C-alpha cells in the first residue's frame, strides 16, 4: 500500500512540476529575466525530484533523500510564494493556508494519536508553542511574538532536521518512527515542522515580520518561567515538554547532562519532592538565548540586504 501511495505522489508531483514550468514560461516569457526563469525552472525540477523521493519512503533517515527533498521543497515553496503573493490579500491567503494546516495537524495529534498518552499530546513542546503563536497571530498581531515565531521557528526547524535521530531507528518495532515516512506519526511530524519552516521563510522574504534582535530577546522573559513550570509538570506527567523531562522520551545527551553533575536540589511541594538541576537548566536556557540571538541577528542582516 505504501508503494502505491508513493507512486501516486510521484505522478502528482511530476504533473505539478511540469504544469508549473509551462505556467512560468508563459507568464515570464516576455517580462521575466533569465534569472527569474532559472529560479522558477529549478522549483519545477524540485517538485519532480520530490515526487521521485517518495519512492524512498523507507527508511526515513535524517539527511536521506526524502527528508532532504521535503525540506528543500517547503523552503523553496516559501520563496516561490513570496515571489507571486505580493498584495495584502494574497499574503493573508498564504498566512491563512499555513495557519489552517498547522491547526489541523495540531488537532489531529491531540485527538487521534491514541498510542501516545493524552498528557503527552498537548501542544506545549517548543515547536507546538510556535505553532500556537502562529495561530494566535492570525487574530492578533504582536511584534515580540512575531519575532519569536520567525527566529525560534527557524532554529527549531533546523534542529529538527539536523538532530532528528529518531528518524534513524529503522529496526524499531511496529508502532514506531522506524516504519518509514508513511507512518502517520512521522507524516504529522515531518509536515508540521516543514510547514512552519515554510511560513518562517515566507515571513522573512516578504518582511511580513521585521526581525529585531532586542524584541526577539525579550521573549526570554516568558521562556524562563515557562521552562521551570514545565520542568515540574514533566515530573508529574512523565513528559518532555521543552526538553526538561528526563523521565520521558528526551534526547539521550540531555539525560546524560542531567545526571553528569550532581548540582541538583529538591523542592517539596504538595507532598512531592521536585528535582531542579542547575546545570541542565543553565544549558537549556543558555542554548535557547544563544539560538535566539544568533538567528535574530542573521535574519535581521538578511532582511536589510533584501532592501
Place of cell 514550468: 21
- Please give the DSSP secondary-structure letter assigned to residue 267: E
| More confident: 172 or 33 | 33
Q: How far apart are CA 85 and CA 109, in angstroms?
A: 30
Q: What is the pLDDT of residues 91-112, one digit of tens each?
A: 889 999 999 999 999 888 888 8
Report pLDDT for 124: 84
Retrieve residue 155's grid coordinates: 532554529
Report pLDDT for 250: 65
Report pLDDT for 119: 79
Q: What is the pLDDT of residues 69-90, one digit of tens each?
A: 999 999 999 999 998 888 888 8
Report pLDDT for 10: 92
Report pLDDT for 83: 87
Retrieve residue 11's grid coordinates: 505522478
| More confident: 175 or 46 | 46
Question: In the chain, where are the structural domains located?
Answer: 220-286
How much of the chain, in percent, has pLDDT values that exceed 90? 18
Burial class (CB in 10 A: 0-12, 13-18, 19+), 125: middle
The DSSP line for 99-122 is HHHHHHHHHHHHHH-TTS-GGGSS
Does 36 have pLDDT greater than 50?
Answer: yes
Residue 234: other Cβ atoms inside 10 A: 24
Range 193-220 average pLDDT: 89
Range 128-132 average pLDDT: 86
Range 142-146 average pLDDT: 83
How confident is residue 172, by pLDDT bands cut at 50, 70 and 90? very low
Q: What is the pLDDT of residues 224-253, one digit of tens each?
A: 888 888 888 887 777 778 776 566 666 666
Does 162 have pLDDT greater than 80?
Answer: no
Does 263 have pLDDT greater than 80?
Answer: no
Retrieve residue 270's grid coordinates: 504538595
Instruction: Kindly report the average pLDDT of the chain as a whole number.
Output: 81
- Please give the DSSP secondary-structure letter assigned to residue 239: -
Cα separations in angstroms, 71 against 191, 218, 253: 9, 29, 25
Amino acid at each position: 500500500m505504501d508503494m502505491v501511495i508513493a507512486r501516486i505522489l510521484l505522478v502528482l508531483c511530476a504533473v505539478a512540476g511540469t504544469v508549473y514550468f509551462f505556467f512560468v514560461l508563459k507568464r515570464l516569457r516576455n517580462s521575466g529575466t533569465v534569472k527569474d526563469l532559472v529560479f522558477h525552472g529549478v522549483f519545477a525540477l524540485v517538485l519532480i525530484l520530490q515526487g521521485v523521493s517518495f519512492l524512498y519512503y523507507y527508511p526515513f533517515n535524517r539527511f536521506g533523500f526524502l527528508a532532504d527533498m521535503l525540506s528543500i521543497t517547503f523552503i523553496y515553496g516559501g520563496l516561490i510564494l513570496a515571489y507571486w503573493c505580493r498584495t495584502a490579500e494574497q499574503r493573508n491567503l498564504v498566512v491563512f493556508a499555513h495557519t489552517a494546516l498547522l491547526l489541523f495537524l495540531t488537532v489531529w495529534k491531540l485527538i487521534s494519536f491514541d498510542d501516545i498518552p493524552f498528557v503527552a499530546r498537548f501542544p506545549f513542546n517548543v515547536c507546538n508553542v510556535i505553532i500556537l503563536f502562529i495561530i494566535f497571530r492570525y487574530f492578533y498581531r504582536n511584534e515580540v511574538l512575531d519575532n519569536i515565531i520567525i527566529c525560534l521557528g527557524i532554529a527549531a526547524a533546523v534542529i529538527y532536521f539536523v538532530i532528528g535521530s529518531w528518524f534513524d531507528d529503522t529496526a524499531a518495532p511496529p508502532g514506531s518512527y522506524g516504519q518509514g515516512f508513511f507512518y502517520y506519526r512521522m507524516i504529522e511530524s515531518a509536515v508540521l515542522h516543514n510547514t512552519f519552516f515554510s511560513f518562517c521563510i515566507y515571513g522573512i522574504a516578504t518582511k511580513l515580520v521585521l526581525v529585531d534582535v532586542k524584541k526577539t530577546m525579550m521573549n526570554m522573559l516568558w521562556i524562563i518561567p515557562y521552562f521551570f513550570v514545565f520542568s515540574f509538570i514533566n515530573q508529574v506527567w512523565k513528559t518532555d515538554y521543552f526538553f526538561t523531562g528526563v523521565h520521558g522520551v528526551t534526547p539521550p545527551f540531555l539525560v546524560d547532562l542531567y545526571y553528569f553533575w550532581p548540582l541538583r536540589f529538591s523542592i517539596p511541594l504538595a507532598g512531592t519532592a521536585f528535582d531542579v538541576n542547575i546545570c541542565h537548566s543553565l544549558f537549556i536556557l543558555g542554548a535557547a538565548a544563544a539560538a535566539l540571538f544568533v538567528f535574530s541577528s542573521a535574519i535581521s542582516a538578511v532582511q536589510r540586504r533584501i532592501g
